[in-house]
Amino acid sequence: MPGFELIDRKESLAVKKIFDDGGVLFAHGFENLRKNYHVREFENNFKKYINSKYCLAVSSGTAAIKIGLKSLGVKPGDEVITQTFNFIATVEAIVDIGAIPIIVNIDKSLNIDTEDFKKKISKKTKVVIPVHMLGYPCEMKKLKKICKQKKIKILEDNCESLGGMFEKKLLGNCADIGVVSFDFGKTITTGEGGMIITNNKKIYNYCKEHHDHGHKNLKKVSRGKDSFSFPGFNYRMTELQGAIGKSQLNKISTLLKDNKKKYDILKNNLTNFEKRKLIKGGIPNYDTYIFFAKNFAQKKRILNIIKKKQFNTKNLPDAIKWHCASYWTHVLSNKEIKKIKISLKILKKAIALPIFYKKSKNFYKRLANEINEIF
Ligand SMILES: Cc1ncc(COP(=O)(O)O)c(C=O)c1O
């Protein structure tokens, strides 16, 4: 599960080093006072990991979505499509730039239903945001085909599934632009933070300028004499986050390997339950195991077992309100919410078990055995 479990002396030494080296906490300038550029190094290391041409570190995943949408030319009144099972941040980013969120149902993969997506495309559709939820990839191949025909851009929200893959590409690097979150519950963490991933220089330059008050960051002039061509905002990452991010990124393969072992224990033991659908060509990051109860009575019994073990579910069902658009009456119209009833029906039967690094394999074995006892 989350990188916070692996925070240790390495992160604290990385932070201490910043202070030992002069204490510059800002990502730009102060050349005479500093020895390193941690945010820049984090971006470079991340770029190598994800295998993209450009990466830009920002203050959060939500900021990354917002800047990303603007870089794709989304204007007030444009429609942006995304999915029901999601986190509210995606819809907030759409609404915050004056665009209109259009919500598409999910299927048993718990990710975007490409058939419903086709139905919801209109003349106003500019961008679709497929969201790789709780470790599992979206059907990127079909989406790309539809989007190419309809001239719709894709922003991949990979805030939750870093390390997962689609057709041999790491998620976040499969479309026009991708975003990752490093908040405290994510695969790797910097406390708060996000990354924008793209292979398009124009998109990268737009995001880079936008997240830094419009600064072009021209190399030959000081920041005070720097140029601008459009108004931006401040969505910068700090050096503290950059240094922690580098350390966390070094631990990702350890984390992913551990995830898979425990995920497989659940998968191989909870065989009486319907499983979440994994799309062809997809590899999860294995940080959550999701299965479906047969009915609500059975679900209640399973949740009791989980509770008795002083364990919890991951969003399904404990935080479903924040992760299903059917509840978001404060940002969506009733008309929009009525169209997505089927997703709620699917999600209400789902149980998501988080994979923790610090929980033993035996714990997951016992958990599966106890859940199986309901039969
Ligand atoms: C799917 C999804 N999108 C966006 C975000 C927002 O990321 P952040 O918390 O870094 O703003 C999250 C975070 O929970 C998320 O799960």
Q: How far apart are CA 109 and CA 43, in angstroms?
A: 31
Instruction: Name the more confident of 334 and 134.
Output: 134
Torsion of CA 115, 120, 125, 128, to 10 degrees: -40
Give the per-residue pLDDT at 219.
85
Nearest CA owner, ligand 1 atom 10: 61
Query: CB–CB of 259/251 below 8 Å?
Result: no
pTM of the shown model: 0.97
Residue 213 has pLDDT above 80, yes or no: yes
- How remote is the CA of residue 120 from the centroid of ligand 1, in Å? 24
Query: CB–CB of 194/63 below 8 Å?
Result: yes
Phi and psi at residue 223, to the nearest 5°:
-60, -35
- How remote is the CA of residue 84 from the centroid of ligand 1, in Å? 14
Q: What is the mean pLDDT of residues 279-298?
A: 97
- How remote is the CA of residue 324 from the centroid of ligand 1, in Å? 13
Ligand 1 lining (C-beta closer than 6 Å): 60-62, 86-87, 89-90, 131, 157, 159-160, 181, 183, 194
Query: CB–CB of 313/348 below 8 Å?
Result: no
**Three-point CA angle 86, 91, 314, nearest 5°:** 25
Pairing of strands 177-181, 153-157: parallel
* Mutation test residue for ligand 1: of 60, 62, 67, 91, the one with most atoms within 8 Å of CB: 62
Nearest to 31 by CA among 211, 233, 223: 223
User: Residue 20: in which H helix or E strand, if any?
Assistant: helix 9-20
Tokens of 251: 């631990």
106-148 pLDDT per residue, tens:
999 999 999 999 999 999 999 999 999 999 999 999 999 999 9
**CATH number for the segment(s) 252-372:** 3.90.1150.10
DSSP helix/strand/coil, 359: coil
Query: CB–CB of 81/117 below 8 Å?
Result: yes
- How remote is the CA of residue 194 from the centroid of ligand 1, in Å? 9
Q: What is the mean pLDDT of residues 314-320?
A: 98
* Mutation test residue for ligand 1: of 183, 288, 324, the one with most atoms within 8 Å of CB: 183
Q: How far apart are CA 194 and CA 68, in angstroms?
A: 12
- How remote is the CA of residue 242 from the centroid of ligand 1, in Å? 18
69-85 pLDDT per residue, tens:
999 999 999 999 999 99
Q: Tell me which residue has tokens 């240094």.
A: 243
Is 3-249 a domain of CATH 3.40.640.10? yes
Q: What is the mean pLDDT of residues 354-367?
A: 98
Q: How far apart are CA 231 and CA 41, in angstroms?
A: 26
- What's the chain's average pLDDT? 97
Q: What is the mean pLDDT of residues 90-119?
A: 97
Give the per-residue pLDDT at 1.
60
| Amino acid at residue number 301 | R
Q: How far apart are CA 272 and CA 297, in angstroms?
A: 16
**Where are the chain's structural domains?**
3-249, 252-372
Strands (E), the chain: 54-58, 79-83, 100-104, 125-129, 153-157, 165-166, 169-170, 177-181, 194-198, 274-275, 282-283, 288-292, 350-354
- How remote is the CA of residue 254 from the centroid of ligand 1, in Å? 23
Count of helices and strands (H, E) across the chain: 14, 13
Give the per-residue pLDDT at 83.
98
* Mutation test residue for ligand 1: of 60, 110, 181, the one with most atoms within 8 Å of CB: 181
148-200 pLDDT per residue, tens:
999 999 999 999 999 999 999 999 999 999 999 999 999 999 999 999 999 99
225-278 pLDDT per residue, tens:
999 999 999 999 999 999 999 999 999 999 999 999 999 999 999 999 999 999
Q: How far apart are CA 4 and CA 192, in angstroms?
A: 12
Q: What is the mean pLDDT of residues 316-339?
A: 94
Atom from ligand 1 closest to the CA of residue 131: 1
Phi and psi at residue 162, to the nearest 5°:
-60, 130
Q: How far apart are CA 268 and CA 271, in angstroms?
A: 6
Q: How confident is the model at residue 2 (pLDDT cuts 50, 70, 90)?
A: confident
Query: CB–CB of 75/221 below 8 Å?
Result: no
Q: How far apart are CA 320 and CA 101, in angstroms?
A: 19
> 350 Cβ partners below 8 Å, 6+ apart?
110, 276, 290, 291, 292, 293, 316, 317
Q: What is the mean pLDDT of residues 286-309?
A: 97
Q: How confident is the model at residue 375 (pLDDT cuts 50, 70, 90)?
A: confident
What is the biggest distance separating any 2 CA atoms in the chain, rounded to whole angstroms? Answer: 71
